Structure 1
Amino acid sequence: MPRYALKIEYHGAPFAGWQRQKDQTTVQGAIEDALARLEPRAHTIAAAGRTDAGVHALAQVAHCDMQGDWTPFRLSEALNYHLKPAPVAIVACAPVAGDWHARFSARQRRYLFRILTRRAPATLDAGRVWQVKQPLDVAAMQKAAALLVGKHDFTTFRSTICQADSPVKTLDRLDVTAVETPHGTEVHFDVRARSFLHNQVRSFVGTLERVGAGSWSVSDVGRALAARARPACGPVCPPEGLYLAGVDYDDDPFTPSF
């Protein structure tokens, strides 16, 4: 059966997350239903990451197996037609080898988190940023973020329902930067690792926001990491500012060859 890689963009607000659930609207379920309109049978797709309810994606990656020999253009166009009006789009499609796997072939996941700092309510970006009213000390947040980079036991920043075999992960990057906009400042978090624990990014951001607000010190974050205990974590931030921004592969199926 021909296998295809799909690059997927979605707005997470209407969905109970990526993973298919009984009696819940999910991104995986929407795409599998669209596939069943093209080839009537049960479809199961696999993704690079299972985003939670309310989390968005700029470039989620999944793969599907088809019986017919579809061109990538025809498959993506047909899926987008049947996905309407759900806020999900196939932005790229490429044929891959039969042993290529969206999850297991990935070497890095990249997440973006956006905080908007201003007092006026967000309008155009409502539901797409976490809005806080007070200014944040980005320099202090970056110093605290640097303590988290590297290989650590991240039990403190792991959900109690996380199913990962080990809390030890290697965090490749956690950069915090200020981005000026016409009507407020956004604080962006660029978070990269091969894999993540459940709620790890939102636990990082919620804790670092406390540093930016002055409620925590930089050293408090170091102590929280060293505690290896979930109660030591700061508040977990809401999902609406989180985006799965990209997935890296040794041989990117979406990179055109010339």
Structure 2
Amino acid sequence: MNRVVLGLRYSGHSFEGWQTQTHGNTVQDTLLNALEAICGERPVIHCAGRTDAGVHARQQVVHFDTSVHRPLSAWVKGVNNHLPGTVVVAGAKYLGEPFHARYAAISRMYRYYFYASPVRDPFKTHMTWMHYPLDLLRMQSAAAMLVGTHDFSSFRAAQCQAKSPVKTLHRVSLVECSDHCYVEIHGNAFLHHMVRNIMGALFEIGMHRQPLAWMQTVLSARDRSQGAKTASAAGLTLWEVEYPPEFGIADLFNPAQLDFNP
């Protein structure tokens, strides 16, 4: 069997999440259809992290095992010929069984893009629009309270299947750009809706609906009912997945590995 590893990028607007569904309108189902056209079978796909409906991915990593051997160009250009414009295979490589897209990952980084404006901007559909002004300094101070190893039950969706709510966040930083902002969250792993629930709390503090200390109160409560409303999926992107360097996963997203030949 050959273990094929793919680097994916996709816009989540038109998909109902990553995970396969009976209706087939997911990233996984779309990729399976394209793979079947190339290798004549529907392999079992494992991904670095399942994304919800409307969530994007700049660097999603998947792997599957197949008895079929194809040149790497077939797994990139061939598969892309059968994919819609909203999802693309950026690169491919063969790796041995020790590699697993999910379990070999060291950390994951998400970015949540948003902007505050009296009216919606039609050219920022990949971001969350906030109608009210936001106090970014308060949001950054609240975000800093989450760094470290904590029980994140207050930011965990009811349907989360993770064995433990204890996760480690290495960095939570807010970056202000000329016409938008984003919060970058880097951690070892994430619970279901964890980033969106964190953003919901940050928005409450940024709008002065809750005091700054409320973030610590919510975190310590370990109770989802004490938190804020889940923020929109529109602004969330799986930005990067980190692996041990010996796997060379970063190469999957390097355009220099590809040529311009059909």
Q: Give TM-score scaled by structure 2 length.
A: 0.92
Query: Where does structure 2 lack aligned partners over 5 or more consecutive residues?
Result: 255-262
Map 1:1-258; keep pairs closer than 5 Å: 1-85=1-85, 87-126=86-125, 128-181=126-179, 186-251=180-245, 252-255=248-251
Shift of 1:64: 2.2
Q: Matches of 1:179 and 1:62 in 2, distance apart?
A: 31
Residue type of the partner of 1:37? A
Q: Matches of 1:11 and 1:253 in 2, distance apart?
A: 21
Query: Where does structure 1 lack aligned partners over 5 or more consecutive residues?
Result: none
Match of residue 258 from structure 2:
none
Shift of 1:84: 2.7
Shift of 1:174: 0.9
Q: Matches of 2:250 and 2:172 in 1, distance apart?
A: 25
Q: Matches of 2:38 and 2:134 in 1, distance apart?
A: 49
SS in 2 for 1:180: coil
Q: Matches of 1:171 and 1:164 in 2, distance apart?
A: 16
Q: Matches of 1:109 and 1:80 in 2, distance apart?
A: 25
Residue type of the partner of 1:110? M
Q: Per-residue displacement from partner, 1:37-83 (whole Å, max 9, x unpaired)?
A: 11222311100000011111111110122333322223100110011
Contact 1:117–1:132 at 8 Å: present in 2 too? yes
Residue type of the partner of 1:36? E
Number of residue-to-residue matches in the alignment = 252
Q: Matches of 1:74 and 1:228 in 2, distance apart?
A: 48
Contact 1:95–1:253 at 8 Å: present in 2 too? no
SS in 2 for 1:13: coil
Q: Matches of 1:67 and 1:17 in 2, distance apart?
A: 28
Shift of 1:15: 1.3
Q: Matches of 1:188 and 1:215 in 2, distance apart?
A: 20
Q: Structure 1 stretches (4+) deviating beyond 3 angstroms? A: none
SS in 2 for 1:77: helix
**RMSD over aligned Cα atoms:** 1.7
Contact 1:60–1:244 at 8 Å: present in 2 too? yes
Residue type of the partner of 1:89? V
Q: Matches of 2:103 and 2:111 in 1, distance apart?
A: 21
Between the two proteins, what is the percent identity of the paired residues? 33
Q: Matches of 1:24 and 1:116 in 2, distance apart?
A: 32
Contact 1:203–1:236 at 8 Å: present in 2 too? yes
SS in 1 for 2:137: helix
Contact 2:24–2:30 at 8 Å: present in 1 too? no
Match of residue 257 from structure 2:
none
Contact 1:138–1:187 at 8 Å: present in 2 too? no
Contact 1:141–1:209 at 8 Å: present in 2 too? yes
Q: Matches of 2:87 and 2:202 in 1, distance apart?
A: 31
Q: Give TM-score scaled by structure 1 length.
A: 0.93
Shift of 1:165: 1.0
